[in-house]
Homo-oligomer: A and B are copies of this chain.
Amino acid sequence: MDYFFNPRGVAVVGATANPKKGGNIIVGNLLKGYEGKIYPVNPRYNTIDGLTCYPSLRAVPDPVDLAVVFVGAEMVPQVIQDCAVRGIPGAMIESAGFAEIGAEGLARQHVTARIAEEGGVRLWGPNCMGLVDVKNRRVFSTVTPSIWDQGMIPGKVSLIVQSGLLAGAFLIDVMSHGVMGIGKACSIGNKMDVMECDLLEYLLADPDTGVVGLYLESIVDGPRFISLCRGAKKPIVVLKGGKSVAGAAAAMSHTASMAGDGAVVSGAFHQTGVVEADDFHQMMDYCRVLGEFDGLPSGLGNRVAVMTYSGGAGIVSADFLGDAQLALATLSQESLTRLKGVFPSWMAPGNPVDLWPGILLNGAHKAYNETLAVLMNDPGVDAVFAHCFVGGFDLEPQLDTLARLAHSSRKPLFCWISGERKAVDRFQRQALDCRIPTFREIKRAVDCLGTLLAYHRRKYQHAGGPIKDVHVPTMLEDLLEGGSRVLNERASKSILKRVGIPVVEEIQVMTLTAADRAADRFGWPVVLKGVMPGAVHKTEAGLVALNIDGPEMLHREFEEMASRVGKAGEVLLQPQLPAGLELIVGLIRDPQFGPCVMCGLGGILAEVLNDRAFAVAPLDRADALALIGRLKAQQLLDGFRGAAALDRNALAEVLLRLGALGVACPVVREVDINPLIVVEGRPIAVDASVML
């Protein structure tokens, strides 16, 4: 991939002398920063912008590693053919007119891809804005040259952006507003060959990149994406577009119906430590913050001290902390005593620290500096959130001193900045130089601080042990009664039992006598279930009789059930489990990530809370425990109102085994265990469907 980022020589196919056209802008952008040879290609010119222009790629001299292509879509296949002949390893196709315009363009895209593959040419694009490498001043893009005049601030944040125009538009916006530095920005367009994973892999190894932000509408190779994220030593932030797109309308299983709204993608992100953003600005905020604090020490918690010039702003900040999984720090007695030196005698300092009386007494510099020193030294404080006002009122702190204090403490200092427009702009740029993140809004600052601290807690937590080896009988074919798509309860549970998942006992009863005998064996009360081909929703079909408390009721229910299922069905007798927490667990095959395990609340809570989480198989034990930990209703799991607490390891084992089944047996399309009931803390599958 290095020929895309660090080419020895770049040809611009479709270069023109018209400064309004993209073909000229590409040449101009190259001239401004690229240090290698530039070869415009266009049969209609001899020179462009003082450079020799060549009639075709074949005429371009060595060295040339990259062709930036900006010609009509219909000419692109020929250009790629020329790259192959000429031995140019990389082509960045910035032209539009491919898959995004429908069938005709899609056909063209296929043709182009085949030529490239046969000729050994890697393709970036098409329908993209190429590359802006701010650090190395390499702009292989039609992006407006005005970016050179403003905002080319080098930084550690590299970006991968699907959606061609958005990438450029977004970049211009971010760069011209000048509040963060950028490393490499990659616009990947239609992803016909080079895709997010190729670039992610490159950027994770790139010494100039400290954090990678991605805007993606699809993830082409889910397993590779997961593997890259799992191994990443740098933070990865993703904004995934298209989450609200309705899932398959007629999902067969509960599990599949709970997989909408991006739950699977979010699960994969959680599992691999990817930070998920939900807006472009949030993505950029997370990137700049995570990029700034790559060296935070382990052991930082979530306790925040707030220092403010306004009691009101302190109150509003404190109100937000809980939402961001942060807590207001309790200051040590020593800190409180030391703070008294900054404030008038009538004031009893607390957290939030209202600086105003101290500013009146000692001026803003002393009040901010001494307070920050105390807070940063307090072992009960993990981070400080400072409110600053500039332009009027003489409230402006000495930013460089604050930054020095913060950096030497190795705890994050975040600033909320407001004030007169020009002064705010100046302060933000100064803060960028001092590496202090500033925010125009309290809520956003708190959100970012919470995300930063949570990321680092997780980073040090995640031991990343090997995937536990779960034995799955690979020869399940004898149980998979050929042909049927949905296995019945008995067949489904016997598969689960073979995989090692605890299932409720059951006996198939053909006669009343057999039913009596089975009930005697299990003890009262018992349950009768009717199993019929094609009947998936048993309760609704009247095929479940619960709480059968004696022989009389059993006889009545057996006769009824037997007549209901008829000759083609069968009747199962099971012990009635005591009431307990109902869960749903399941397995689906996601088009992007393959087999995924779900864990969710069942019963009435399933539909009200919609409380479920996904993880991509195979899971290790930490994944499985984290998956359980992502459910909202943790209180219920921990033993609600006298019930025994869930044995999380036992449930994790079920999830691990389900995942292993999914990986080992591609023939198993979906599994639904509903309900999985927690009895004295241990999960037992009471009903299940396996779909092939």
> Using an 8 Å CB-CB cutoff, how does the interface string of A341-352 with B read, 1 for contact, 0 for none?
000101100000
- Contact partner of A309 (CB less than 8 A), chosen from B162, B165, B318, B393, is B165
Task: For A608, list chain B residues within 8 Å (CB).
Answer: 605, 609, 633, 635-636, 640
Could you tell me the distance between the alpha carbons of A443 and B239 in the complex, rounded to whole angstroms?
13
A215 sits at the interface (CB 8 A): yes
* Residues from 314 to 333 in A contacting B, C-beta threshold 8 Å: 315-316, 318-322
- Is there contact, CB below 8 Å, between B441 and A244? no
Task: For A635, list chain B residues within 8 Å (CB).
Answer: 607-608
The minimal Cβ–Cβ distance linking A465 to chain B, given in whole angstroms, is 32
Q: Known contacts A313-B163, A604-B636, A635-B608: does B244 contact A424 (CB below 8 Å)?
A: no
A467 sits at the interface (CB 8 A): no
This chain: how many copies in the complex?
2
Could you tell me the distance between the alpha carbons of A278 and B608 in the complex, rounded to whole angstroms?
26
A247 sits at the interface (CB 8 A): no
- Contact partner of A346 (CB less than 8 A), chosen from B104, B150, B311, B313, is B104
Binds B, one of A414-422, A555-563, A660-668: A414-422
Task: Kindly report which residue of chain B lies nearest to residue A165, judged by CB atoms.
Answer: B310
- Is there contact, CB below 8 Å, between B279 and A443? yes
- Is there contact, CB below 8 Å, between B443 and A278? yes
Could you tell me the distance between the alpha carbons of A318 and B262 in the complex, rounded to whole angstroms?
13
A498 sits at the interface (CB 8 A): no
The minimal Cβ–Cβ distance linking A672 to chain B, given in whole angstroms, is 18
Interface of A is mostly: helix
Q: Known contacts A419-B172, A608-B635: does B310 contact A244 (CB below 8 Å)?
A: no
Task: Kindly report which residue of chain B lies nearest to residue A311, judged by CB atoms.
Answer: B163
A312 sits at the interface (CB 8 A): yes
Task: Kindly report which residue of chain B lies nearest to residue A443, judged by CB atoms.
Answer: B279
* Residues from 150 to 203 in A contacting B, C-beta threshold 8 Å: 150-151, 161-166, 168-170, 172-173, 176-178
Residues in chain A within 8 A of chain B (CB atoms): 96, 100-105, 143-144, 146, 150-151, 161-166, 168-170, 172-173, 176-178, 215, 217, 239, 241-244, 278-282, 309-313, 315-316, 318-322, 344, 346-347, 356-357, 360, 389, 391-393, 395, 418-422, 424, 440-443, 604-605, 607-609, 633, 635-636, 640-641
Q: Which 9 A-B pairs have the closest CB atoms?
A: A163-B312, A144-B392, A241-B315, A166-B310, A173-B418, A176-B421, A279-B443, A166-B312, A102-B346
